[in-house]
Amino acid sequence: MSFVTDFQNLEPGAFSTTWRSPSNIAFVKYWGKKGHQIPANPSLSMTLKNCFTETRVAFSPEGDGNVELFLEGEKSEKFALKIKKYLDTLDEVPLLKKVGIKIETRNTFPHGTGIASSASGLSAFALGLTDYLYHLKGKSEASDFFQCASHFSRLASGSACRSVYGGFTTWGECHLPKTSDLFATEFKVHDDLSDLLDSIIVVSSEEKAVSSTAGHGQMSKHFFAEARFEQARENFQLMVKALTSGDIELMGKVLESEALSLHAMMLSSSDPYILMRPQTLLGIEKIWKMRRETGLPLYFTLDAGPNLHLIYPRQIEKEVKGFIETDLKPISEKVIHDEVGMGPIRC
């Protein structure tokens, strides 16, 4: 890609920038990769609005690649090391070995609540990095800015590459135009499905026992890997059809199939594990019962964790909030209400 080789001969300068970047929830899951951060199948997600990370990044011309990171005002050696390791992989930007970087970051949602803080956190940082590189190149209004930010986000955390656009986003080469394994692309949905809500039922905020990185790794030797990638490709096509035609029933069917297949991969891996909790299953049964009895288009999905994301159109907000209050609040630690967001902003 031209914009990557473009950064080879840049000289460091001083610069600071602040970005607010949202999390996203996958409707079709990325679970398993080929080589370095290349997805085994295309994925599709909804960008959130209220769950975001705000990150200020300051670059100084001297610093020998040193990274300092403050999370909610507290110095974090652990996260600084993660960013340092990531930057060490970016051979296409040699100046990163010379500069000093100070990162101040905060999330609007609690860590470990099943909302992908890596998607918002790493996309916010990658946007800051891209801003710096484009500033040094004098390309501040470039049309490929977000594509480049998506590329740098992907190299930090796959799902983060989908957070750089608002609305709905796909990532991974597929039948749609302008798609790529290297960056995400905006995806236009039918008007009837453009105002979906996501109520997150946090049944447990405990740190998960097995990381997503380990989960992706297990897929490389999973007995069902090829079948799962084929299913994901088929579900992707069905989800595209549902979202572009406004078919909410088909959307919900595929959404739940994807959530349960993701967890089925964990259950059936050679080193099996369970991230769902008893309340997760109880919640699913209650959602299915409510749908059977009322016919309302309320569906769920799961990330790599125990918490339920309830996906539904704004038109049934009152009914769903009533159901959450009576049926799901008693089995959860907290509920976070979110909706489709517009994507990142420079603050």
d(CA 151, CA 184): 8
Number of Cβ atoms within 10 Å of the Cβ of 331: 16
| 29 is a contact residue toward ligand PMV (CB under 6 A) | yes
Among 54, 131, 198, 303, binds ligand PMV (CB under 6 A): 303
Helical axes 225-245 vs 248-267, angle rounded to 10°: 160
How far the first Cα of the chain sits from its last, in Å, is 28
Sign of CA dihedral 289, 292, 295, 299: positive
Residues facing 201 on adjacent strands: 308, 335
Residues facing 337 on adjacent strands: 199
| 109 is a contact residue toward ligand PMV (CB under 6 A) | no
Among 17, 21, 23, 43, binds ligand PMV (CB under 6 A): 43
Q: What is the DSSP letter of 177?
A: T
d(CA 274, CA 197): 27
Number of continuous H segments (helices) and E segments (strands) in the chain: 9, 14
SS3 of residue 92 by DSSP: coil
Instruction: Give the range of 5-13, 24-32, 226-234, 289-297 binding ligand PMV by CB under 6 A.
Output: 24-32
Choose between 26 and 95: whose C-beta lies nearer to ligand PMV. 26
Choose between 189 and 262: whose C-beta lies nearer to ligand PMV. 262
Instruction: Give the range of 130-138, 145-153, 156-164, 311-319 binding ligand PMV by CB under 6 A.
Output: 156-164
Query: What is the CA 229 to chain-centroid distance, rounded?
Result: 19
Instruction: Give the range of 128-136, 153-161, 263-271, 284-292 binding ligand PMV by CB under 6 A.
Output: 153-161
CB of 213 to ligand PMV, least distance (A): 6
d(CA 320, CA 328): 10
d(CA 324, CA 314): 15
| 228 is a contact residue toward ligand PMV (CB under 6 A) | no
Instruction: Give the range of 9-17, 71-79, 154-162, 315-323 binding ligand PMV by CB under 6 A.
Output: 154-162
| 157 is a contact residue toward ligand PMV (CB under 6 A) | yes
| 212 is a contact residue toward ligand PMV (CB under 6 A) | yes
| 304 is a contact residue toward ligand PMV (CB under 6 A) | yes
| 254 is a contact residue toward ligand PMV (CB under 6 A) | no
| 258 is a contact residue toward ligand PMV (CB under 6 A) | no
Choose between 87 and 99: whose C-beta lies nearer to ligand PMV. 87
In the window 76-105, what residues touch ligand PMV (CB under 6 A)?
none
Q: Are 82 and 234 in contact (CB under 8 A)?
A: no
Say how many CA atoms lie within 13 Å of 126 toward its Cβ: 32
| 12 is a contact residue toward ligand PMV (CB under 6 A) | no
Instruction: Note the residues at the interface with ligand PMV (CB under 6 A).
Output: 26, 29-31, 43, 116, 118, 157-159, 212, 216, 262, 303-304
